[in-house]
């Protein structure tokens, strides 16, 4: 397998906004110690398919530790806490694909009464099974995950359907392999099902300080003593310790990633009160919550992700001034402008877009978020503009008639100017005749059209036609872009070039001028 194929570590797929599927490759270097409590591992949501692509190590699933080596494939259901660890002999590198089965599977596959429910990956209709497959399944799975990765990397909404179809195929082929595999490891006692369900309930209700073993047991129609006993057997941890560790890690995350007050953190993580919160930190972490927050909020190295999150969250709330300040701060900390643009600003805007689609936010909220985005981009502008390459070319750019979206268009402008092109910005809601008039009078080499609405896409075709009628079509290139546009549409209307993002738009413009 090509290393580059899986060189997704840094990208960590900004898919969370666009699709329920995430894909990542991680080298697990933490050394395994048998006394690690399971609650310190990650909790899955949905299904996780993991392939060991390099090295070997330990895979600890609940209280069960098993060897893992290159070629092993593990399928885990929701709620199973697990982790990969290095041993003296090696360090496992694992690629994992996580998705929410109910969002990915559709029709009969999703119907609990259907015999195809989850394609047999799950047992007893409960999403908990863990299947360890032999190497036979490896090549097919690798190929399929490669295809899924490619679709995910395209990052276009219409690719969702392809991702879902490929996932369904993957599940079908894996379920076939499960039958051929060493199923000894796949057979799990009913206790596993119960404990996993309990863990999911705990995660769900963690913020509720009234949650107890008793309330969880009764929601699972079992007795407190039975749950307590099997919980200890399966996880190796007492239920109370598990809950306490989970709350502690929740509080740690809130301290690290937010500026919430201690009272609010105590409330959200279901802890009893502020004094016991302090005691817990002192005994388990060895520092006060304040010291912990300070040690984590340095925005250095790994913590760079948290400033991106902070920018994204403030952008979503429309806090333009804070976004501006945080972008400047991120730059000061040495984060590259392109990373801030993609991982903080654009990812925040795309969450707003999703919420807008689901009617969770409305036009006013989107407007203030867009304003915050623009303020952030203003700070980045000088850095996004690379040194001019000495290319001379004149472009007229605008959002087509009927369309007021201009964030993408503005980014295209910044990138093109950065490449040394002269850009005449016609703004938004631009009629075809204005593009033609400007291109003719200003001697433009390229007309760039942006559209964000499916209802205004057709105006692009009108511009192409108007250029022909005006007799300038052979003198001017026409580039198009915007979220609903694709290559097929570009060919259909006879435009010269489509690209999906602003940076490649600028590169393509240079190529067209060459």
Stretch that binds ligand B12, among 44-52, 164-172, 316-324, 479-487 (CB under 6 A): 479-487
Among residues 372, 370, 380, which one has the least CA distance to residue 341?
Answer: 380
Dmax (CA) of the chain: 85
- For residue 502, the minimal CB distance to ligand B12 (Å) is 4
Whichever of 269 and 499 has its CB closer to ligand B12, that residue is 499
- For residue 461, the minimal CB distance to ligand B12 (Å) is 14
Check residue 356 for interaction with ligand B12 (CB under 6 A). yes
- CA 408 to chain centroid, in Å, comes to 20
Check residue 338 for interaction with ligand B12 (CB under 6 A). no
Q: Which of residues 365-404 bind ligand B12 (CB under 6 A)?
A: 366-367, 370, 402-404
Per-residue 3-state assignment (H helix, E strand, C coil) for 469-499: HCCCCCCCEEEEECCCCCHHHHHHHCCCEEC
Whichever of 311 and 480 has its CB closer to ligand B12, that residue is 480
Collapsed DSSP state (helix, strand, coil) of residue 127: coil
Say how far apart CA 445 and CA 270 lie, in whole Å: 62
Check residue 479 for interaction with ligand B12 (CB under 6 A). yes
Whichever of 146 and 494 has its CB closer to ligand B12, that residue is 494
Check residue 188 for interaction with ligand B12 (CB under 6 A). no
Q: 282 is written with which tokens?
A: 């002192």
Q: 101 is written with which tokens?
A: 């089965």
Say how far apart CA 18 and CA 330 lie, in whole Å: 25
Check residue 438 for interaction with ligand B12 (CB under 6 A). no
Under rule CB under 6 A, how many of the chain's residues touch ligand B12? 38
Check residue 483 for interaction with ligand B12 (CB under 6 A). yes
Collapsed DSSP state (helix, strand, coil) of residue 427: coil
Taking CB under 6 A as the criterion, the residue among 412, 423, 476, 490 binding ligand B12 is 412
Burial of 265 from C-beta contacts in 10 A (0-12 / 13-18 / 19+): buried
Taking CB under 6 A as the criterion, the residue among 46, 289, 348, 353 binding ligand B12 is 353
Per-residue 3-state assignment (H helix, E strand, C coil) for 261-282: CHHHHHHHCCCCCHHHHHHHHH
Whichever of 266 and 315 has its CB closer to ligand B12, that residue is 315
Check residue 425 for interaction with ligand B12 (CB under 6 A). no
* E-only strand ranges, 295-356: none
Whichever of 170 and 509 has its CB closer to ligand B12, that residue is 509
Whichever of 271 and 345 has its CB closer to ligand B12, that residue is 345
Say how far apart CA 73 and CA 75 lie, in whole Å: 7
Q: What x-and-dash track marks residues 198-237 binding ligand B12 by CB under 6 A?
A: ----------------------------------------
- For residue 400, the minimal CB distance to ligand B12 (Å) is 10
Output the CA angle 208-76-8, nearest 5 degrees.
100
Stretch that binds ligand B12, among 258-266, 322-330, 435-443, 447-455 (CB under 6 A): 447-455
Q: Which of residues 276-315 bind ligand B12 (CB under 6 A)?
A: none
Q: Which of residues 85-124 bind ligand B12 (CB under 6 A)?
A: none
Whichever of 68 and 345 has its CB closer to ligand B12, that residue is 345
Say how far apart CA 481 and CA 479 lie, in whole Å: 7
CB 72 within 8 A of CB 133: yes
Check residue 80 for interaction with ligand B12 (CB under 6 A). no
Check residue 449 for interaction with ligand B12 (CB under 6 A). yes
Check residue 349 for interaction with ligand B12 (CB under 6 A). yes
Stretch that binds ligand B12, among 92-100, 236-244, 246-254, 362-370 (CB under 6 A): 362-370
Check residue 482 for interaction with ligand B12 (CB under 6 A). yes
Whats the size of the chain, residue-wise? 514
Collapsed DSSP state (helix, strand, coil) of residue 296: helix
Exposure pattern of 184-194 as b/e (b: 16+ CB <10 Å)?
eebebeeebbb
Tokens 């390229």 sit on residue: 446
Taking CB under 6 A as the criterion, the residue among 305, 453, 470, 513 binding ligand B12 is 453
- For residue 363, the minimal CB distance to ligand B12 (Å) is 5
- For residue 372, the minimal CB distance to ligand B12 (Å) is 11
Q: 254 is written with which tokens?
A: 């809130």
Cβ neighbours around 468 below 10 Å, total? 13
Say how far apart CA 514 and CA 511 lie, in whole Å: 5
Stretch that binds ligand B12, among 288-296, 305-313, 364-372, 387-395 (CB under 6 A): 364-372
DSSP state letter for 301:
G
Which chain residues interact with ligand B12 by CB under 6 A? 346, 349-350, 352-353, 356-357, 363, 366-367, 370, 402-409, 411-412, 448-450, 452-455, 479-484, 499, 501-502, 505
């Amino acid at each position: 397998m090509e290393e580059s194929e899986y060189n997704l570590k840094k990208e960590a797929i900004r898919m969370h906004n666009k699709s329920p599927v995430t894909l990542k490759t991680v080298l697990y270097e933490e050394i395994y110690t048998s006394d690690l409590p399971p609650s310190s591992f990650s909790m899955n949501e949905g299904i996780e398919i993991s392939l060991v692509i390099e090295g070997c190590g330990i895979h600890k699933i609940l209280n069960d530790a098993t060897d893992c080596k290159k070629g092993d494939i593990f399928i885990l259901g929701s709620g199973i806490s697990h982790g990969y660890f290095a041993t003296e002999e090696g360090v496992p590198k694992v690629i994992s694909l996580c998705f929410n089965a109910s969002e990915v599977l559709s029709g009969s596959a999703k119907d609990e009464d259907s015999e195809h429910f989850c394609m047999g990956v799950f047992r007893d209709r409960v999403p908990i099974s863990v299947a360890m497959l032999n190497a036979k399944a490896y090549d097919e799975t690798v190929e399929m995950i490669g295809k899924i990765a490619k679709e995910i990397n395209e990052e276009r909404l219409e690719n969702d359907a392809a991702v879902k179809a490929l996932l369904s195929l993957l599940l079908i082929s894996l379920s076939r392999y499960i039958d051929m595999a060493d199923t000894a490891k796949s057979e799990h006692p009913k206790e596993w099902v119960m404990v996993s369900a309990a863990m999911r309930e705990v995660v769900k209700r963690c913020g509720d300080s009234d949650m107890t073993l008793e309330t969880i047991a009764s929601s699972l129609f079992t007795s407190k003593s039975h749950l307590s006993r099997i919980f200890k057997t399966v996880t190796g941890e007492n239920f109370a310790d598990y809950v306490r560790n989970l709350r502690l890690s929740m509080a740690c995350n809130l301290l690290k990633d937010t500026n919430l007050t201690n009272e609010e953190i105590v409330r959200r993580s279901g802890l009893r009160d502020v004094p016991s919160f302090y005691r817990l930190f002192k005994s388990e972490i060895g520092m006060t919550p304040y010291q912990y927050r300070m040690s984590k909020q340095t925005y250095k190295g790994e913590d760079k992700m948290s400033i991106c999150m902070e920018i994204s969250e403030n952008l979503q709330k429309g806090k333009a001034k804070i976004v501006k300040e945080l972008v400047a701060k991120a730059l000061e900390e040495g984060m590259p402008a392109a990373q801030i643009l993609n991982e903080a600003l654009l990812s925040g805007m795309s969450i707003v877009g999703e919420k807008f689609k689901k009617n969770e936010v409305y036009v006013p909220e989107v407007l203030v978020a867009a304003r915050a985005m623009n303020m952030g981009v203003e700070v980045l502008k000088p850095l996004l503009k690379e040194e001019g390459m000495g290319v001379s070319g004149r472009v007229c750019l605008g959002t087509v008639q009927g369309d007021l979206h201009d964030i993408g268009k503005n980014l295209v402008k910044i990138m093109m100017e950065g490449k040394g092109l002269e850009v005449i910005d016609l703004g938004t809601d631009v009629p075809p005749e204005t593009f033609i008039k400007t291109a003719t009078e200003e001697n433009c080499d390229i007309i760039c059209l942006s559209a964000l609405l499916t209802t205004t896409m057709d105006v692009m075709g009108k511009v192409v036609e108007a250029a022909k009628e005006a007799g300038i079509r052979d003198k001017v290139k026409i580039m198009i872009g915007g979220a609903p546009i694709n290559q097929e549409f570009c060919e259909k209307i006879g435009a010269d070039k489509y690209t999906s993002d602003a940076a490649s738009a600028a590169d393509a413009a240079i190529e067209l001028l060459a």
